[in-house]
């Protein structure tokens, strides 16, 4: 059955300053025909990066542009390379068009419904390509206007997922592709903010080094600094169904997130940054 969707692949708000916040895994929409082939558990889309728009509700105040996915990562994962190549060779990962949940349970009721190459190509054309075209276009606009650009790829994940990591995950996981996607000086500033946040743990380029978006678009030598933040969901929400947002808990971590983004803006807006790149 050909893949079809009636929903645009993203929502976008253009800002006024040299920062784009990307949220590729917040989407929950699964077209009805596809949803019918998923297991009952998969239809709850449990592996969503829930409530990040609400958590980052200060983005507009900062003047950031915001790009938000609408479709579930179960349709297609916007933070994977278009050819589906593994970002972490040798480690367990989910693919471009996933076939299993984070807890290793099958996504589809019937293995015959797993998408083949033609359907994957249709999903890529309908969802993946427009999202990335908008992302690239906005970074180019920001760079043209400001001479420099910052990309913040916002993610969250359950704090305990034995498939992907042992024990409990660090709360604030900053990724810069081992230093390739962002100035090391900026990365160290961000790590310091995370490590000084009372009640939270932080790491740079630990289990999560940044996905395809960070690696693809970050190019500090050309004045584009990209950072991924993968944070534990227990820092702001209920990690199990019904995945409720916890305002009082979120309010404790939000000031630290804002400090990080303010540090990004201060770094890229520093006088001469557009001509003294690195």
Instruction: Name the pTM for this structure.
Output: 0.96
Residues 48-89 pLDDT 10s: 999 999 999 999 999 999 999 999 999 999 999 999 888 878
pLDDT surpassing 80 at residue 275: no
Annotate the chain with three-state secondary structure. CCCCCCCCCEEEECCCCCEEEEECCCCCECCHHHHCCECCCHHHCCCCCCCHHHHCCCHHHHCCEEEEECECCCCCCCCCCCCCCCCCCCCCCCCCCCCECCCCCECECCHHHCCCHHHHHHHHHHHHHHHHHHHHHHHHHHHHHHCCEEEEEEEEECCCCCCCCCCCCCCEEEECCCCCCCCHHHHHHHHHHHHCCCCCCEEECCCCCCCHHHHHHCEHHHCEEEEEEEEEHHHCECCCCCCCECHHHHHHHHHHHHHHHHHHHHHHCCCCCCCCCC
Model confidence pLDDT, tens digit, residues 25-35: 999 999 999 99
Q: Is the pLDDT of residue 45 over 90?
A: yes
Residue-averaged pLDDT of the chain: 95
Tens of pLDDT, residues 172-196: 999 999 999 999 999 999 999 999 9
- Gyration radius from the chain CA atoms: 18
Please report the pLDDT score of residue 94 as a whole number.
84
Asked whether the predicted pLDDT for residue 235 surpasses 90, the reply is yes
* CA proximity to 212, closest of 142, 98, 132: 132
pLDDT for 78-107, tens place per residue? Answer: 999 999 888 878 787 788 999 999 999 999
pLDDT at 107: 97
What is the band of 273 on the pLDDT scale with cuts at 50, 70, 90?
confident
């Amino acid at each position: 059955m050909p893949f079809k969707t009636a929903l645009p692949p993203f929502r976008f708000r253009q800002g006024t300053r040299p920062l784009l916040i990307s949220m590729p895994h917040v989407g929950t929409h699964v077209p009805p025909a596809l949803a019918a082939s998923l297991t009952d558990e998969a239809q709850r889309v449990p592996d969503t990066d829930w409530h990040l728009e609400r958590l980052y509700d200060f983005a507009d105040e900062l003047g950031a542009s915001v790009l938000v996915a609408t479709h579930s990562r179960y349709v297609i994962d916007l933070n994977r390379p278009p050819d589906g190549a593994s970002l972490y060779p040798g480690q367990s990962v989910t693919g471009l068009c996933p076939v299993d949940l984070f807890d290793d349970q099958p996504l589809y009721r019937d293995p015959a419904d797993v998408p083949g190459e033609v359907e994957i190509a249709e999903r890529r054309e309908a969802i993946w390509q427009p999202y990335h075209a908008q992302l690239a276009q906005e970074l180019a606009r920001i760079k043209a206007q400001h001479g420099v650009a910052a990309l913040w790829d916002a993610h969250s994940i359950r704090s305990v997922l034995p498939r992907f990591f042992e024990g409990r995950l660090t709360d604030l996981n900053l990724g810069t592709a081992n230093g390739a996607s962002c100035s090391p000086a900026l990365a160290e500033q961000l790590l310091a903010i995370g490590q000084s946040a009372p009640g939270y743990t932080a790491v740079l380029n630990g289990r999560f080094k940044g996905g395809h978006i960070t690696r693809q678009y970050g190019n500090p030598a050309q004045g584009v600094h990209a950072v991924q933040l993968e944070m534990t969901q227990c820092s702001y929400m209920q990690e199990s169904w019904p995945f409720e947002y916890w305002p009082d808990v979120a309010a404790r971590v939000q000031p630290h997130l804002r400090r990080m983004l303010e540090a990004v803006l201060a770094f890229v807006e520093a006088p001469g940054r557009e001509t003294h790149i690195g």
